[in-house]
Amino acid sequence: WLHPSGQRLNISPADFMALAEQSGMFLPFGSWAMTTACQQAAIWHRQHGPLVLSLNLSASQLQNPAMVDQIHETCAATQFPHQFIEFEVNESLLLRQPELMKQAVRNFVDKGMSLTLDRFGSTHQSVALLQSLPIRKIKLDHKMLDAVSQDVELSSTLHMMTAFAISMNVNVMVDGVNSATQRQSLHAMGCVLGQGAYCGAAMSAD
């Protein structure tokens, strides 16, 4: 970001999101991001057939009682079916205000929305959260995948969590798949969904 003083500043997405939440700016920002994403996804949907759009939710969005109505309005305006949107929420967000956030998740899912638990495995309460919430898909924390080849105990934990999720009929996705070796290891555990450099690099809309 080129600051008005002429200084070029590097601001991480994590810092930007945190500041947006604190300032009360995130709800309008989140609405703009969802509308823009749905507009583009609708074009791809018409050109290439059904495609799933993944969008991250902030804590304030998830707790907003009007959020589901806003999603339906946005999808109607952009002509993109809401059934093809998968919303993701970071596992750590649910632990800041556990009971409040768990109820927000239940309300969101009860209204027909799909919710993925992102960064799964990043806390000690991962399995407990999966048992207590109506989650049908998790995305494993990429940091676990990075370290699994060098840490036998972590590898065992990853196998256990994956097997538990699959036994509960929960889809397992992995972030940060960067090699064929990682892909083969994940397939052996039953993980067939992934994202990362091995699957394809980021591209422009065109």
pLDDT in tens, 80-106: 999 999 999 988 888 888 899 999 999
What is the three-class DSSP state of 25?
coil
Q: How far is the C-alpha of 139 from the C-alpha of 201, rounded, in Å?
A: 19
Q: How far is the C-alpha of 129 from the C-alpha of 163, rounded, in Å?
A: 16
Query: For the residues of 79-144, what is the DSSP string, one character each?
Result: T--GGGEEEEEEGGGGGTSHHHHHHHHHHHHHTT-EEEEEEETSSTTHHHHHHHS---EEEE-HHH
70: exposed, middle or buried (Cβ count in 10 Å: 0-12, 13-18, 19+): middle
Report the relative pairing of strands 171-175 and 114-120 from DSSP bridges.
Answer: unpaired
Would you state the pLDDT for residue 107? Answer: 94
This prediction has a pTM of 0.82
What tens digit of pLDDT does each residue of 166-187 get? 999 999 998 889 889 888 888 8
Would you state the pLDDT for residue 84? Answer: 95
For residue 24, how many other CB atoms are within 10 A of its CB?
9
Whole-number average pLDDT of the chain: 87
pLDDT of 150 strictly over 80:
no
Residue in 193, 191, 196, 162 with CA at minimum distance from that of residue 179: 196
What is the three-class DSSP state of 3?
coil
Q: Which of 22-26, 131-135, 142-146, 199-203 has the lowest mean pLDDT?
A: 22-26
Residue in 179, 180, 187, 135 with CA at minimum distance from that of residue 162: 187
Would you state the pLDDT for residue 78? Answer: 97
